[in-house]
Structure 1
Amino acid sequence: MIYNLLRPLLFMLDAEKVHTLTLDALGLLKKASLLPSCAIQCAPVHIMGLDFPNPVGLAAGLDKNGAYIDALASLGFGFIEVGTVTPRPQAGNPRPRLFRIPRAKAIINRMGFNNAGVDKLIENVQQSGYRGILGINIGKNADTPLQNAVDDYLIGLRKVYPYASYVTVNISSPNTKQLRQLQNEIELEQLLSALKTEQTRLSDQHGRYTPLAVKIAPDLEPEQIAAIASLLLKHRMDAVIATNTTIARYGTEHLPYGDEQGGLSGAPLTVRSNAVIRQLADHLQQAIPIIGAGGIMSAPDAQAKIDAGASLVQVYSGLIYRGPNLVTETVSLLCARSTDNG
């Protein structure tokens, strides 16, 4: 209720500044012990060898450096994903780079993997008191040539491996030049092969298996989705996240900020994301779990992703428009549906 009252004021201010201000405020409330401290326990899900207390997670991008994990956990999420983090710190793209489109319940961002580097993220994770399921999303530095991208992902995997419940390989952001080319069959074959080999080595070294997920774009043709699914199966990946933001505009072009460059998220992405999930589900046949993301603005939106074939869901833009109530409402609906079905 408080967020709903404050949102009109917040939306009058610069989007990126408000992002930081809101997280800082949430952090202060957490330190003052004014927030709860645990996930909502309802409709648990077991995938990737992990037990999720509920199926609603926070998508990567909101807390890039893992600086607000404890505060965000208080909102009731069943799991949290931080990042995208790169081997070296980078400033990202020039500002302004984050734009709200309220009439479409959408956001366009061209952040460009702005983050303090993987070592700082690990430091923040170590200082956190969070003991729930934590995903760490890794990417490549913008100035790393595409032919050397595998090296950056291997650096990221090695560093975060002991601290993550699972690791997400981000090859689908539209805001790092050429990154999406890693979804092409030849490049993806090379990347997944290297990562799976390193995962096996790290599992032996650390005495624990940390699952690997791959996050893909919504802007893929059916044959590309089929090829990616085949490679995910071949290399025994642990999960796939569908989807990242889209470079399409789906009717926002004529709205204020609707033609800004970057990735579009929010309500306009819902239908396309669900279509990708359904296609993946057809190819994977439950051999690899799907985490649904993109356009979850309400509890029924999340249920639609589960119905399409997802085992878990992640929210981000919906949280900006709806506030923390989105999490509790979504968990409640999925819990009720789970009870009805079981």
Structure 2
Amino acid sequence: MYSAVRSILFRLSAERAHEWTLAALGLVPAAAGWFGPRVQASERLAQTVLGLSFPHPIGLAAGLDKNGVAIPAWYRMGFSFAEIGTVTPRPQPGNPKPRLFRLIEDEALINRMGFNNDGARAVARRLARVRQAGTGGILGINIGKNKDTPNDSAHEDYRAALDELAPLADYVTINVSSPNTPGLRDLQSESFILELLQAVEPIRARYRLPVWIKVAPDLPNDEIARIVEALAASPFREHLGLICTNTTVRRPPLSGPYRGEAGGLSGRPLAARSTEVVRIAAQAAQGRMPIMASGGVFSPQDAYEKIRSGASLVQIYTALIYRGPTVVGDLVRGLDALLARDGFRSIADAVGVDVRD
């Protein structure tokens, strides 16, 4: 069924199709469950990470539902958790259109959206209604700074966004790695991240929220290791995790007319580098901090490789665009089969096994 829907959506511009899909899922969340059987995870896939119980490790990455307009639909698809955002303190329109491009031959996307969102207050009002009705799964909120906020005041934006959204989140992600906000990636230093964690700690502690830091795949390997080592040794480590990775500005060989567009590249071409960053982070963390993988996951084997490399949880986005809602169930069932094949009684036993070996 999705192949027919996709053929229609792919006749539209990527952003128009995105907007129409979100609007439809927001109006009729049940439509998300029409494309395949209900996702039922085996006990082998269940785990607790940073105090939250995940029935399976597959979640929705931030960026698809920036404003939280279709949250119930993501759980109808079978995701065990969904991350909305990036949300900034004040609303902003993002970068000029066009700003989202399909690279169909590569099963990839390029985006330069620029944190377009309704702002923390409006998103918080929407989430309050969702929370009242019940979400059906774990909800993460990804926060960032406004484009016109200078970097030396960035901590004020993160604190303001968190103050609005913390009561409505199960976890929060701090985004310092989008390539589409000028200067944002300059904040990816251990010193700034630790200062930022200290600045938001009173709010985080009030709601006992786990915090994830999302890093770019384009950082040098030794810098990734330094950041992880600093975070894993910090007083925040008991409630802290790392998401590997955001989109990349690197350009491996690509196909199609949009391959030269500026922005962050996601999808299959990011898979190998994302897994490499997971492995680097896992080796540096030495079990002191959990890792969430994001980037190029299309098949159960892709997810399994990231888990064996050190990831406890796995997010998808681009695969959902190309494969449709059934990809969630395919990943869950296929991952369970791979764990059983290799004799793992639980997913936790498989996390980082290749790094340990």
Please name the residue that 2:294 is paired with: 293
Cα distance in 2, alignment partners of residues 27 and 300 from structure 1: 31
Higher mean C-alpha displacement, 267-276 vs 22-31:
22-31
| Structural mapping, 1:3-22, within 5 Å | 3-22=2-21
Structure 1 segment 180-259 matched on structure 2, within 5 A: 180-200=185-205, 202-203=206-207, 209-233=208-232, 234=234, 235-236=236-237, 237-252=239-254, 255-259=256-260
Amino acid at match of 2:331: T
Question: Counterparts of 2:40 and 2:245 in 1: how far apart (Å)?
Answer: 24
Give the Cα separation in 2 of the matches to 1:198 and 1:30. 32
1:34-57 per-position Cα deviation (integer Å, ceiling 9, x unaligned): 759986443112101000111100
| Alpha carbons of structure 1 residues 104 and 185: separation in structure 2 relative to 1, 3 Å | same
CA distance in 2, matches of 1:39, 1:144: 42
- Which residue of structure 1 lines up, in the alignment, with residue 60 of structure 2? 58
Which residues in structure 2 correspond to 1:259-338 (within 5 Å)? Answer: 259-338=260-339
C-alpha separation in 2, matches of 1:309 and 1:32 = 34
3-state SS, counterpart of residue 98 of structure 2: coil
- In the alignment, which residue of structure 2 is the partner of 1:169? 174
* Identity across matched positions, percent: 47
Residue 153 in 1 paired to residue 184 in 2? no
* In structure 2, C-alpha distance between the alignment counterparts of 1:80 and 1:38, rounded to whole Å: 17
Give yes or no for contact 1:67–1:124 (8 Å, CA) kept in 2.
Answer: yes
| Residue equivalent to 1:120 | 122
The 8 Å contact of residues 38 and 73 in structure 1, kept in 2 or not, is answered as no
Q: Distance in 2 between matches of 1:41 and 1:306?
A: 16
Residue 251 of structure 1: how far off its partner (Å): 0.9
Q: What amino acid is the match of 1:46?
A: T
* Match in the other structure for 1:206: none
TM-score by length of 1: 0.93
How many residues of Structure 1 are paired with residues of Structure 2 in the alignment? 334
Does 150-159 or 226-235 show the bigger shift? 226-235
Distance 1:34-1:275 versus aligned 2 partners, 3 A rule: closer
In the alignment, what sits opposite 2:100? 98
Cα drift, residue 292 of structure 1:
0.5
Could you state the TM-score of these two structures normalised by the residue count of structure 2? 0.89
What letter is aligned with 2:90? R
Cα 1:313–1:102 change in 2 (3 A) is same
Match of 2:87 in 1: 85
Note if contact 1:40-1:53 (Cα within 8 Å) is conserved in structure 2.
Answer: no
Q: Which runs of 5 or more residues in structure 1 are unaligned?
A: 204-208
Task: Return the alpha-carbon distance in structure 2 between the equivalents of residues 119 and 38 of structure 1.
Answer: 34
Structure 1 distance, partners of 2:40, 2:125, is 27
What is the alpha-carbon distance in structure 1 between the residues aligned to residue 324 and residue 173 of structure 2? Answer: 25
Q: What is the rounded CA distance, in whole Å, between the counterparts of 2:114 and 2:320 in structure 1?
A: 21
Distance 2:218 2:54 in 1: 29
Indicate the residue corresponding to 2:72 in structure 1: 70
- Counterpart of 2:351? none
CA distance in structure 2 between the aligned counterparts of 1:33 and 1:301, rounded to whole angstroms: 23
- The alpha-carbon deviation at position 314 of structure 1 amounts to 0.3
- Indicate how the Cα distance of structure 1 residues 164 and 181 shifts in structure 2: closer, same or farther if over 3 A, else same: same
Moved over 6 A (4+): 36-39
Superposition CA RMSD, Å: 1.9
Superposition map of 1:35-54 within 5 A: 40-42=40-42, 43-54=45-56
Q: Per-residue deviation at 1:187?
A: 2.2
What does the per-residue CA deviation read over 1:238-296, in whole Å, with 9 as the maximum and x for residues that have no partner? 211100000001112x6311111100000000000000000000010121110000011
Alignment CA distance shift 1:192-1:77 (3 Å): same
Counterpart Cα distance in 2 of 1:274 and 1:307: 10
Structure 2: runs of 5+ lacking an equivalent: 346-357
Q: Given that residues 142 and 175 in structure 2 are in contact (C-alpha distance below 8 angstroms), is that contact kept between their aligned partners in structure 1?
A: yes
The Cα offsets for residues 2-30 of structure 1, whole Å up to 9 and x where unpaired, read as 11122223212110000111122233432
